[in-house]
Amino acid sequence: MSKVAVIGTGSWGTAMAGLVAPKATEVVLWGRSDDVVEGINGTHHNPVHLPGYELPANVRATRSMEEAARDADHVILATPSAYLRATSHDLAPYLDSSVPVLVLSKGMELGTHYLMHQVASCELGHEERVCALSGPNHAEEVCLGKVSAAVVASQSEGCAEDFQRLVVCPTFRAYVSQDVCGVETCGAVKNVVAIACGVGTGLDCGDNTLAVLMTRGLAEIGRVVASLGGDPMTCMGLAGMGDLVVTCTSRHSRNRTFGEAFSHGESLEAFEARTRMVVEGARACRSVRELADERGIEVPLTRAVHGILYEGVSIADAMASMLGRSPHEEFYGMGRRDG
């Protein structure tokens, strides 16, 4: 007998519930919405996210955090980054200290600059049992069984391997890493780059420009990773280059899609209300810019995105600011150092 609790009924939580269902006796999805919970239990479809996807028969939903967590062998956190701390706080009283936790959220907490596994660990305790999953895997394709891959990262090799066994299947490749800092930093900053690529797409800047944004964005991610003590080589893998490419180019990417909509005049608030999805890159750019100010990290793309979203900078002025910079060596600022 085995039970997996998936906390969050968004697209990724829904797809993950289906992905792990063959390895579990029971999968319990926790959600806040009565309509979503009733829809899953009544029809095996999430009526809001991935509505065309039929969940396996051993998946059910509940609004009770205690019911979801009770006797769970594994817990998967699939909430937006802005809600992860509060959700983890609510979960803590019901979760035994030995239960391993996998964090799917991508971001960096404003003020603390904590990565998502650190945020969860603050509330749940026992950081060694907390893992993070990241990679080029849109829920819309994972649920259809299209080939995808991800990295499971944790300071505990055993914990990472435990979740690797849970999620791996012929169409979902899972690798392990102990560079949890690098993996999570890639997952946070790539969403900012994707917004910039969406803006470029909306303005019909061309393929050359998008390639420049992605590769210079990758270098920017590497500088942030190095400053936080992660391994810049992680940026070349699934959590870095892999996730960056799919997030900057896919029609499923909410960050890229938002950037395109923003270039046509739609605000962040209007976009999120229309799509009922959170644009993680819009939050991450605030945290990353704040971190960069404190540590002296050069993040021109992040500053440009922050400027157009929060400072009233025009897109034309933001582009002019980036193009006015003097080019450095291509991979400056990536020397690994403690911090």
Give the tens place of pLDDT for each residue, 271-324: 999 998 889 999 999 999 999 999 999 999 999 999 999 999 999 999 999 888
Render pLDDT for 49-61 as a digit per residue (tens, 0 to 9). Answer: 999 999 999 999 9
Count other Cβ atoms within 10 Å, centred on residue 57: 8
Which residue out of 3, 106, 146, 190 is catalytically annotated? 190
Residues constituting the chain: 339
Contacts of 267 (CB under 8 A, 6+ apart): none
Whose structure tokens read 């990353």? Answer: 288
187-323 belongs to which CATH class?
A: mainly alpha
Whose structure tokens read 């002296």? Answer: 296
Instruction: Tell me whether residue 83 is exposed, middle or buried, using C-beta atoms within 10 angstroms of its C-beta: 0 to 12, 13 to 18, 19 or more.
Output: middle
Boundaries of every domain in the chain: 3-178, 187-323
Coil vs helix vs strand at 65: helix
Asked if the model's pLDDT at residue 35 lies above 50, the reply is yes
Structure tokens at 237: 């893998």
Residue among 59, 51, 2, 56 at smallest CA distance from 30: 59
Backbone angles phi, psi at 228, to 5 degrees: -85, 0
Render pLDDT for 133-185 as a digit per residue (tens, 0 to 9). Answer: 999 999 999 999 999 999 999 999 999 999 999 999 999 999 999 999 999 99
Integer Cα distance of 245 and 122 in angstroms: 31
Span 3-178: which CATH code? 3.40.50.720
Q: Please indicate whether residue 190 is annotated as part of the active site.
A: yes
Residue among 96, 19, 88, 90 at smallest CA distance from 58: 19
* Average pLDDT value for residue range 11-36: 97
